[in-house]
């Protein structure tokens, strides 16, 4: 890895990492602090309403059946659209920088004019990206633990925490790698961000609709969010092997495709 | 030995023209001018040489290596200034120089600071606060700080003031005298005339001519003015190698095609009162190449 490239990536990623991490920590902390106070009320009253139950099912991406347990309440902060938006926004910001962002702002000529291989650049940037992703997720987890302990709730146990982090990281990597591929195919960062955003929204929608609408179940196979189900983890306490394989497998394939495209395509400011 | 060698290099963008069948040979230790009007394919050729674009056809070899496959190795000994220079806005000049050193894995600070002094560049300023000319100076310092064997500059003087242009020219001449090679694209004729040893002219993606500047000068016509002593001499037919543009009374003015000595021989023994022969008119020659591709 190249020290200069690492320094540049860190300099460019830390503001977004800090911002997304702090917001995610604040959100997780707040929810973990507040939720226990309403847990009983939600269980008894709100979730008895069919419409609300459906909305929560859509949000969690799972059927919650009849029993309303603490795992549902515990999984809400991890599947809440705000939390997912913050984490996935970080992935999109990081992964559309190279090459689309560099071409777009015209800096690719200067950097590629230096003695680095494209592969080296992509690999270095990816390592910094993964580390920054871990920081954002770790900050969110810290926020949750702090909020739960301050609010008198039940924080995630070690195993539950590990399972949720692994699942969330898989989702993050899959979306980030997809954004990277779109960025590799594009010369405009705006286009890459828009395309990724559209895919995320469609994924949200499919994952939401599959709870109510039969045809959406087939499409759910292609939706990354269908493989992120914190409620199942909290309820079963088992590794979601199939979901993890799908998410990390997709991430590996998409990232490899992005690397192949990036190393082979023409690159210069337009 | 050639430091850049391209053979039948072709790179097109769909229907758009890039370069077509470009064959160049840039000798080591020379200042090589790459001339052409806007859109002639100069930047495309440079981008192929740096491995940014893959050629459709032909070959491009820099420092004995293939440009596309061995780009990383080649660029260790190459300094490059893009035509449309954009730098990271959050960097200061000092940070940019340090960053180049980190990426290149060599210490470029001392030479970089020396060059900054030559160009009157304040390294403590942020790139986003720099004027275009100042950014251009920083780009030049970044390209030259590691003392590259080959310096590729894409229209380097565009936003420099005349004094800085002069300083840059002196620096480039000095580099070439010390065995470095400078390859620079330009559409400024006076710049090429002052600086280059050898020139290639491209037009519509194709090489029109490639020769030493000395040969080009010999090829270029001279502006001449003759004042005759009597009317009879002034009324005779001019020689075929002199194209008259003005003929008033006893005065002839026109452009000489070919060497001066032929005209001087023709004039010998004739009643002339005054004769003026201007320097080679490179501008007219370049315009001729630009507009007609060298065809009469």
In a domain, A232, yes or no: yes
Asked if the C-beta of B18 comes within 8 angstroms of chain A's C-beta atoms, the answer is no
In a domain, A135, yes or no: yes
CB pairs below 8 Å between A and B: how many?
76
Q: How confident is the model at residue A232 (pLDDT cuts 50, 70, 90)?
A: confident
- Pairwise CB contact (< 8 Å): A110 & B52: no
- Pairwise CB contact (< 8 Å): B102 & A109: no
In a domain, A172, yes or no: yes
In a domain, A125, yes or no: yes
For residue B63, what are the contacts with CB-CB under 8 A and spacing of at least 6?
Answer: B3, B74, B77, B78, B149, B150
Q: Which of the pair, A246 or B17, is modelled with greater confidence?
A: A246
Would you say residue A60 has pLDDT above 70? no
pLDDT of residue B177: 95
pLDDT of residue A58: 67
- Looking at every residue in chain B, the average pLDDT score rounds to 91
Residue-wise pLDDT tens digits, A94-136: 999 999 999 999 999 999 999 999 999 999 999 999 999 999 9
Instruction: Looking at the complex, report in whole angstroms how far the Cα of residue A105 sits from the nearest Cα belonging to chain B.
Output: 7
Would you say residue B279 has pLDDT above 60? yes
Asked if the C-beta of B99 comes within 8 angstroms of chain A's C-beta atoms, the answer is yes
User: What are the structural domains of chain B?
Assistant: 2-212 (3.40.50.300), 221-280 (3.30.70)
b/e burial code for range B144-180 (CB count within 10 A of at least 16 → b): bbbebbbbbbbbbbbebeeebbebbbebbbebbeeeb
> What ipTM was assigned to the predicted interfaces of this complex?
0.85
Instruction: Looking at the complex, report in whole angstroms how far the Cα of residue B54 sits from the nearest Cα belonging to chain A.
Output: 6
Number of domains into which chain A is organized: 1
Bridge partners, residue B198, by sequence: B32, B212
Which of A56-60, A124-128, A231-235 has the highest average model confidence (pLDDT)? A124-128
What angle separates helix A118-151 from helix A241-264, to the nearest 10 degrees?
150
Asked if the C-beta of B106 comes within 8 angstroms of chain A's C-beta atoms, the answer is no
Residue-wise pLDDT tens digits, B113-122: 999 999 999 9
Domain housing A208: 3-264
Q: Which residues of B touch A109 (CB under 8 A)?
A: 52, 80, 82, 84-86
Residue-wise pLDDT tens digits, A24-38: 999 999 998 888 777
Q: What are phi and psi of A223, to 5 degrees?
A: -95, 125
In a domain, A270, yes or no: no
- Pairwise CB contact (< 8 Å): B86 & A116: no
pLDDT of residue A234: 79
- Pairwise CB contact (< 8 Å): A4 & B80: no
d(CA B236, CA B242) in angstroms, rounded, equals 13
d(CA B23, CA B210) in angstroms, rounded, equals 9
Least reliable range by pLDDT among A140-149, A173-182, B212-221:
B212-221
- Pairwise CB contact (< 8 Å): B84 & A106: yes
pLDDT of residue A44: 59
CB atoms < 10 A from the CB of A49, how many?
10
pLDDT of residue A41: 65
d(CA A55, CA A212) in angstroms, rounded, equals 10
């Amino acid at each position: 890895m190249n020290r200069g490239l690492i320094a540049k990536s860190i300099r460019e990623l830390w503001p977004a990492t800090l911002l997304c991490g702090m917001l995610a920590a604040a959100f997780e902390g707040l929810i973990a602090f507040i939720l226990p106070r309403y847990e009983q009320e939600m269980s008894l009253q709100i979730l008895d309403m069919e419409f609300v139950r459906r909305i929560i099912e859509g949000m969690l991406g799972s059927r919650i059946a009849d029993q309303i347990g603490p795992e549902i309440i515990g999984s809400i902060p991890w599947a809440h659209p705000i939390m997912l938006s913050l984490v996935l926004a970080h992935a999109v910001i990081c992964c559309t920088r190279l090459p689309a962002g560099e071409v777009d702002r015209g800096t690719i000529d200067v950097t590629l004019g230096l003695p680095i291989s494209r592969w080296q650049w992509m690999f270095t940037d990816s390592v910094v990206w993964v580390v920054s992703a871990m920081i954002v997720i770790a900050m969110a987890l810290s926020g949750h633990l702090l909020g739960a302990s301050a609010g008198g709730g039940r924080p995630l146990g070690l195993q539950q925490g590990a399972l949720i982090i692994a699942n969330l990281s898989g989702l993050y990597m899959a979306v980030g790698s997809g954004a990277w591929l779109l960025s590799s195919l594009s010369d405009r960062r705006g286009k890459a961000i828009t395309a990724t955003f559209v895919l995320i929204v469609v994924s949200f929608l499919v994952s939401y609709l599959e709870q109510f609408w039969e045809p959406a179940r087939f499409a759910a196979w292609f939706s990354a969010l269908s493989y992120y189900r914190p409620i199942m983890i909290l309820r079963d306490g088992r590794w979601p092997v199939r979901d993890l394989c799908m998410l990390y497998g997709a991430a590996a394939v998409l990232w490899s495709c992005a690397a192949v495209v990036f190393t082979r395509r023409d690159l210069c400011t337009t | 030995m050639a430091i850049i060698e391209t053979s039948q290099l072709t790179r097109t963008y769909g229907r758009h023209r890039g370069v077509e069948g470009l064959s160049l040979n840039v000798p080591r230790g020379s200042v090589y001018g790459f001339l052409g009007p806007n859109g002639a394919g100069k930047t495309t050729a440079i981008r192929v040489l740096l491995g940014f674009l893959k050629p459709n056809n032909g070959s491009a070899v820099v420092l004995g290596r293939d440009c596309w496959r061995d780009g990383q190795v080649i660029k260790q000994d190459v300094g490059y200034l893009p035509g449309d220079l954009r730098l990271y806005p959050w960097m200061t000049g000092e940070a940019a120089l340090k960053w180049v050193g980190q990426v290149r894995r060599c210490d470029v600070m001392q030479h970089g600071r020396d060059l900054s002094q030559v160009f009157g560049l304040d390294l403590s300023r942020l790139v986003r606060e720099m004027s275009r000319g100042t950014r251009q100076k920083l780009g030049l310092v970044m390209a030259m700080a590691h003392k590259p064997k080959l310096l590729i500059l894409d229209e380097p003087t565009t936003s420099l003031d005349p004094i800085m242009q002069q300083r840059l020219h002196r620096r480039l001449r000095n580099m070439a005298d010390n065995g470095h090679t400078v390859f620079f694209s330009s559409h400024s004729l006076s710049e090429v005339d002052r600086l280059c040893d050898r020139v290639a002219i491209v037009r519509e993606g194709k090489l029109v001519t490639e020769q030493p500047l000395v040969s080009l000068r010999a090829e270029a016509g001279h502006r001449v003015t003759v004042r005759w002593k009597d009317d009879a001499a002034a009324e005779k037919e001019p020689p075929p190698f002199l194209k008259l543009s003005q003929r008033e009374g006893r005065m002839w003015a026109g452009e000489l095609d070919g060497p001066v000595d032929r005209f001087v021989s023709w004039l010998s023994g004739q009643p002339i009162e005054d004769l003026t022969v201007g320097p080679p008119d490179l501008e007219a020659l370049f315009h001729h190449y630009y507009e007609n591709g060298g065809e009469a």
